[in-house]
A = this chain, B = another copy of it.
Amino acid sequence: MTQYFVIIADSELELIPEGIHDERSVQTNARTRGKHPGKILLDASHHHPAFGKLPESERRGRPDIVHFCLLLCLDSNLSAEGNLKVFVHTRNDDVIAVKPETRLPPHYIRFIGLIESLYEQRVVPSRENPLLELRQGVTLEALVNALKPDQVLVLEQDGAEVSPGEVLVDPKAERVVVIVGGFSKGRFKSDIRKLDPKVISFGKRQMKAWTAVSRLLCSIECSSEGAAAPDADVEPVKPPKPAKPRRAPRKKAA
């Protein structure tokens, strides 16, 4: 049975960058939440007035995309059958490994709180039960290499168009990495060509990341391979150790 690894790549998920900690919308939000700005996730909806000072501001602060894509992956048949593992890779090369048995909060605010805890503790809910684990300084390339795939698929708008019912995966591939962009605008920031991928598309229309994930899961599950009976017994895979840890020294919240 093929083991799939979905990576939500170059996701627009990050803590509020230091350069805008003093901005009014950020300060107000931090006060309301009783948290230091450096421990809050950047959110285009709350912090937009401060975005003028950020490069690539038009695409940043979209943890909602990650949330929704994860909910779809975790509730898929593939995941329930133990044949799917999901990773979030972010614009800052942070990687979140998500265990398939994770019951993610469907409520956005609780999801945000959970990811903020993850950035503080590196693992949630606990070291003994690491459902979500954070590693920093892991490039997309390093993550993909660590997963040792037989095939890498990338979903991109200008990829080769997939027709309904088409089998996406090489029948001989035992380990397949599928990469979907966790952003709403622009293109991958990581150099995906380095991964020697098969670049595919579900149509010329610009679609949301969640639509791409939903089509992808459905295509795999509906192909003969994905529809096989659950019988997999696959070893868990850990994300690689960071090449150069970029973790800043912890500071007390102001």
Contacts of A71 in B (CB 8 A): 68, 208, 210
Stretch among A72-80, A82-90, A119-127, A173-181 lining the B interface = A72-80
CB within 8 Å of B: which A23-66 residues: 43-45, 62, 64-65
Residues of A within 8 A of B (CB): 43-45, 62, 64-65, 68, 71-72, 75-77, 80, 105-110, 164-165, 203, 205, 207-208, 210-211, 214-215, 217-219, 221-224, 226-227
Contacts of A214 in B (CB 8 A): 72, 214, 217-218
Task: Please state if A106 and B64 are interface contacts (CB–CB under 8 Å).
Answer: yes
A-B residue pairs in contact (CB < 8 Å), sample of 8: A43-B107, A44-B107, A45-B107, A75-B207, A164-B222, A164-B224, A164-B226, A165-B165
Minimum-distance CB pairs A-B, first 8: A218-B218, A108-B108, A164-B222, A214-B214, A45-B107, A75-B211, A75-B208, A164-B227
Contacts of A62 in B (CB 8 A): 106
